[in-house]
Every structure is written in structure tokens, then in C-alpha cells.
Structure 1
Amino acid sequence: MLKATLEQWRMFKAVVEAGGFNQAADQVHKSQSSIHHAVQKLEHALDLTLFINEGRRVTLTEAGELMYRRACYLLEEAHKIESVASSLTSGIETNLRIAADIIFPARMLYHALNKVSQEYPLLRIELMETVLNGANTLLKEGEVDIGISPFPYPNGFSEDLCDIEFIAVAHPDHPLHELNRTLTLDDLKSYRQIVVRDSSTDRKAESGWLGADQRWTVSHARTSVDIISQGLGFAWLPLAIISDELEDGTLKPLPMEQGGVRKAMLHLCFADGDRLGPAARAFIGELRYQSMLLPSADALDTQ
């Protein structure tokens, strides 16, 4: 038999996060006395002192800090259980929210989305393009159901989806190509590098070689392609999104001594598989299939 109820844990959590009983009463729309009574019953049932009174505010005891962390986990799991029940009741979901890192090939993503839309014609799809930590931040905040991210998702499920190959490129007329020899990383330092900004508001990350003395930072890979196509810099760009530019000669691989081709793993991430509906599962299946079709840089002549 449980000694405490979810409601008591909810009141306890509200007091902690509001900083006091009066403040918590305003946030959860209950009387101060009812919240105080719920916390007192919780302390009595557990035989623990959870708070120390400091005027109108309260602070957690050492035991209270431990109980707060466990209470947050308990309430989050209870919310997940209700969400799973809701999805089971409603059957097919009506909305699918996806965060996809911009280095994942757009054509393959669009193909997967189209296949799912054909199978579930009433499905509404929300697609958010992200960079680096952006997808995982949206997952953490509950803004999306599925993420395609360069980083594993620490609070849920992560699966290796595919390797993305990056190629060091510049316009054929860029001064680096005019050196007419194999290049080292030291050769690149004197020229402008174009990098893409992390879209996460949670924490910022930088990826790839960042040794150039001059650097332009942009918010989207397509902007980087446009800048480099005009001869204004160099960058490591995903092979899958510059195949047309490589084919028509707008971009040319830099003849690097080493490191001209780099790889980054993309991960398929979601918080809780039990909460995903049939449309989300169909999208994941198609995404896995499309990821097997990625092009490789092996056949490119980078020298």
C-alpha cells in the first residue's frame, strides 16, 4: 500500500518550484491551507522533514532535495502513462511533429513524409529544421515527437540512423584551388570558413574544424552553399545536399592531404516509443529505409 498519493507529490513539487506555500497556491489554484495540509500528510506518512521555514519562503532539507528529484520523475512517468492511454484511446494520431537536423538529406526526408501522408491522408505534419543540439532541445521541451539529431537523446530512445559524409569544398575559382597542389589544414587557416550556427536555445555546440582565422557563421546549410558557390569561402558540407552543385561544377572538392571527407552520425530520437502512434511508426520505418540509400563520397575524385 502506497503511503503517499500523486496529488500530495504534486503539491510538494509545486511548493518547491514556487518557493513557498502562498506562491504555490496561486500557481495551482488551490488554497494555501489545502497545500499545507497535503505536504504535512506527506511528511507524516514518510516520517521525514521535507522543508525548513525561512519567513514566507521555504527551503528543502537534504532529504527533501532527494525526494524532490524522485517526485519529478514519478510525476513525469504518471504523465507519460496518461499520454499513452490517450493515444490508445484516439487510435491514429492526427498530428506528427518532427525536428530534423538540416544535414539530413531533404529529398529523402520529403519522400518519407510523402509516403506517410499517402498512407494517412488526414495527418497534419509539422517539420522543424534544426542544427546540432536543436532537435534534442525540442524533444526535451515536448515540442516534437521525433528528432533526427547529430547527438544521442539522453532522456529517451536513440538509434544510429545513418552516417552523413561531409566534403571540404570551394568554388572552382577559389584561391585554394589555384594553389594547384595537395592542401593541409594549415593552408586553410588564411581563408574564410563558413559554419552553421547551433539552433538550440538550451546549449550551443560547434562542430567540425574551426581553425580559420576568418569565419562567417550562418543559420542554415543552404546559406552556406550559396555563399561558397559565389567563391566567398570554403566549408565542409554534406555530400547529400551538394550533389547538384558538384555535378554541375559550381562546387569542387578541395584536394586535402587528409580530412577532406568527414563523417557524422545522425541519430533517430524520441522520448517514449509507447506514445508514438501508427503514423509516427510508419514514418520511422520509411526513414530507416531511406537512410540506406545515402550516397557515398568514395567515388569522388578529391585530388
Structure 2
Amino acid sequence: MFDPITLDQLRAFVSVVEEGSFSAAARKLHRVQSAISTSMANLEAQLGVPLWDRSTKVATLTEQGQAVLGSTRRVLAEVDGLRRLATGMTMGLEASVSLCLDVLFPQNVLINLCAKFTQEFPAVDLRIDSQVRSAVSARVLDGTATLGVVTPKGLVRGLETQALSPIRVLPVVSPSHPLAAIEGGIASRHFVDAIHVVLSGCDDDAVSDQAGLSPRIWRVGDIHTKLEMLRAGLGWGNLPEHLIREDLRKGTLVVIRPTAWGDHENSLNLLIIYRRDTVFGPAQRWLQEQLTQLCAREAHLRR
């Protein structure tokens, strides 16, 4: 059955509410007042509820009208979104894009990226996933994610790469841990009895981070569990500086210096990855550019 309610009626209804009167809405919509009055009367008849209290000089919304107003605005917002989506599709804009990030990726960069994305592409859905190491590459290879950000240890063959600014990772322990009591460089013999807490994917038997100093290794699947374990003094391990900046300031974590590593171990490169057969739309190209810019800005601020 054909629905007699029109978008024109709904827009007129919202205009009357926003402008404060039938006459003001008519001026805004460049129509005569009688047309607006008729439209409102028809809308009330079709809905079967009184929208306006006409007992006063200026019509006001009834309780039913207040309830209908909220639904009307949602309907119009959905219609406007549909039009933006259709317009974007005719220009090659994607309906949705997906991004898979290594858990080491800076969260503040991600939040800035999402805030910019919703302003730039309000009609495009963004899907974000976080994984450990090679699991990121797996998501990109199977098409679950269009773009990924991974560390070199998580890179697999068959993917195109684009370098991002590196992030800094630091070996840390709780101030209560025995390693924290050793000043300066720490010789390898001191790590023999220390538990090394590392990140490892569920399908990844390899040891994450820089291993080799501690024979005792505990593997965890997410970075926040690792952070809490190190805070509790259960072991030592590497964490990205952006994640532990506040812990270092408060002293709940302290940096240690394994002499076997050297300063070059403090930087970890990040790579954008994508399949070679990927055809990028405007939103995906924008994500690539913004990831590069925002990561470079984060590195600059850190310096």
C-alpha cells in the first residue's frame, strides 16, 4: 500500500518547529502559509494523532507532536545520509572501509584519525580491528581489512608496504622488580631468572619483542594485559613509549638498559600494508595519507 506521508510534509513539520510558526516556516520554504497549514493538517490526518495545539494564537506542539518530532528528525537524517552515500558512490566513494592495526599502534593517533574521518566522510562506515603481529597481515590477505598497519615482524609475503614514522619502545619493569635496582646497563646474566612478558598472537608460536635474554617467557595476547603484568612486577618487557608515558612520569614503571641490545633496539618501524590487487577509493586513499601525516606528527611531537 502506498504511504501518503511525504518527505516534504516531514521537512515542513520540522521547519514549523524550528522557525516557531506556520508563517515563518512558509517564508523559509518559499511557500504560502496556507500550503504549510494544509500540509500539517494532512500529516495529522495520516498519522491519526494531533501534532499541534491550535487553541492559542501561535500553534504549539502537543505531547504526541513532541514524540513525532524526534522520529521525524531521525527519518530525515537517514534520508540525507542515504543521499550523501548515493552521491559518493557515483563519484567512486566506498560504502565502508576497514582498517586493521597492530596493538602497538598509538591510540591517540587512531582517535585523531577517526575524528578527521567522520568529518571528511560522514556517509562512509569505518571498521577498525586490532591484532598482534602476523594476524594483521592475515586480515589484509583474506580481505577482512583493506588496509593494515603492522611491524616488520608481522609482515608476510604478497603484500605491498608503505613506511610510517617509527615508534619508540622501551624495556621496562616495576620499580619493585629486582632488575630495577641495577643502575646503568644490565648484563645478560641478570635476566636468566627474570620472566620476559611478550606479546604473541594465538596462532603464533614465535616469541615476540626482542627475545634471547630470558629463558623464562610468558606470552600474552593483548598489550593491556602485558602492561598490567609489568606494573604488578611479574616480569619485564618492551612497551611503546606512547602507552607508558604516564607510568614513567609517575614512576609506576621504570626503564631498564640491557647491555646486549644497545640503543638501536628502541625504535620500531610501522608499515602500512595492502594487497597488490587492491583498488583504492577516495576514503581509502585518504586513510593512507592521514596515517602517514599523523604518525609523522606524533614522531615530531615526541622529539
TM-score > 0.5 by shorter chain: yes
Indicate conservation of the 8 Å contact 2:167/2:299, yes or no: no
Assess, with a 3 A threshold, how the Cα gap between structure 1 residues 296 and 138 changes in structure 2: closer, same or farther. Answer: same
**Corresponding position of 1:222:** 224
Assess, with a 3 A threshold, how the Cα gap between structure 1 residues 124 and 291 changes in structure 2: closer, same or farther. Answer: same
- In 1: Cα distance, 2:217 partner to 2:301 partner: 25
**Corresponding position of 2:285:** 281
Q: CA deviation at 1:285?
A: 1.0
Gaps of 5+ in 2: 1-87
1:196 has 2:227 as partner: no
Residue identity matched to 1:184: A
- In 2: Cα distance, 1:173 partner to 1:186 partner: 19
**Corresponding position of 2:142:** 141
- In 2: Cα distance, 1:193 partner to 1:121 partner: 44
- In 2: Cα distance, 1:296 partner to 1:248 partner: 23
Q: CA deviation at 1:256?
A: 3.2
Answer with 91-100 or 172-181: which moved more. 172-181
Indicate conservation of the 8 Å contact 1:171/1:229, yes or no: yes
Q: How many residues align?
A: 211
Percent identity, aligned pairs only, is 21
Indicate conservation of the 8 Å contact 1:168/1:235, yes or no: yes
Indicate conservation of the 8 Å contact 2:147/2:273, yes or no: yes
Q: How does 1:1-303 map to 2 (within 5 A)?
A: 91-151=92-152, 152=155, 154-199=157-202, 201=203, 204-207=205-208, 208-259=210-261, 261=263, 262=265, 263-272=267-276, 275-295=279-299
Cα deviation digits, residues 141-178 of structure 1 (max 9, x gap): 11110010113453232111122222110011211122
- In 2: Cα distance, 1:88 partner to 1:125 partner: 16
* RMSD (Å), alpha carbons: 2.6
Assess, with a 3 A threshold, how the Cα gap between structure 1 residues 165 and 287 changes in structure 2: closer, same or farther. Answer: same
- In 1: Cα distance, 2:123 partner to 2:99 partner: 17
Indicate conservation of the 8 Å contact 2:133/2:150, yes or no: yes
Q: CA deviation at 1:211?
A: 3.1
Residue identity matched to 2:182: L
Indicate conservation of the 8 Å contact 2:168/2:268, yes or no: yes
TM, length-normalised to structure 1: 0.63
Assess, with a 3 A threshold, how the Cα gap between structure 1 residues 210 and 195 changes in structure 2: closer, same or farther. Answer: farther
Answer with 87-96 or 270-279: which moved more. 87-96
Assess, with a 3 A threshold, how the Cα gap between structure 1 residues 160 and 188 changes in structure 2: closer, same or farther. Answer: same
Assess, with a 3 A threshold, how the Cα gap between structure 1 residues 226 and 297 changes in structure 2: closer, same or farther. Answer: farther
Indicate conservation of the 8 Å contact 1:153/1:270, yes or no: no
- In 2: Cα distance, 1:297 partner to 1:242 partner: 16
- In 2: Cα distance, 1:273 partner to 1:288 partner: 21
Q: CA deviation at 1:260?
A: 5.8
Query: What SS does the aligned partner of 1:293 have?
Result: helix
- In 2: Cα distance, 1:284 partner to 1:205 partner: 29
Q: CA deviation at 1:90?
A: 6.6
Assess, with a 3 A threshold, how the Cα gap between structure 1 residues 245 and 296 changes in structure 2: closer, same or farther. Answer: farther
Residue identity matched to 2:102: D
Indicate conservation of the 8 Å contact 1:167/1:236, yes or no: yes
Residue identity matched to 2:144: E
Assess, with a 3 A threshold, how the Cα gap between structure 1 residues 219 and 167 changes in structure 2: closer, same or farther. Answer: same
| Structure label with greater radius of gyration | 2
Gaps of 5+ in 1: 1-86
Assess, with a 3 A threshold, how the Cα gap between structure 1 residues 186 and 129 changes in structure 2: closer, same or farther. Answer: same
Cα deviation digits, residues 166-203 of structure 1 (max 9, x gap): 2110011211122345312221121111001125x4x6
- In 2: Cα distance, 1:162 partner to 1:142 partner: 25
